[in-house]
Amino acid sequence: MDKQELVATARTVLKNAYVPYSKFPVGAAILMKDGKVITGVNVENVSFGATNCAERTAIFTAIAQGYTKDDFMAIAIAGDTEDYLPPCSICRQVFAEFFAPDMPVYLTNGQHEIKELTVLELLPFAFTTLDM
């Protein structure tokens, strides 16, 4: 699967987001080493701290399905924003836990443009097990 297809998958799940408060749907699609794609959407709660982002929904779903941190290949994040939609800081820290530093991260915008970064570029000074 190429990056355009992965981004298209992330865009497809936008409609499934539960966003009654912000009206800001986000979709994520993760390519696994076995070729499977795991998707996620943001799920809001009236207590915003209980909200879960699309990226973490997809990561946690993959883990629940038996995948391990060595199984992740790439992630695409989609929304209808003017600029590229970056993951929040909590999601970036979860990326550091499960993704290799050089793993591709595809950010998109409402014009369907794609910006490719790595996990390390998104979070250059990540807190890792080396810091424990």
Binding residues: 53, 88, 91
Q: What residues form the annotated binding site for Zn(2+)?
A: 53, 88, 91
| Residue ranges in 72-125 assigned as alpha helix (H) | 89-98, 119-122
Beta carbons of 105 and 4 less than 8 angstroms apart: no
The set of catalytic residues is 55
- Rounded Cα gap, residues 4 and 52, in angstroms: 25
Burial grade of 76 (CB within 10 A; 0-12, 13-18, 19 or more): buried
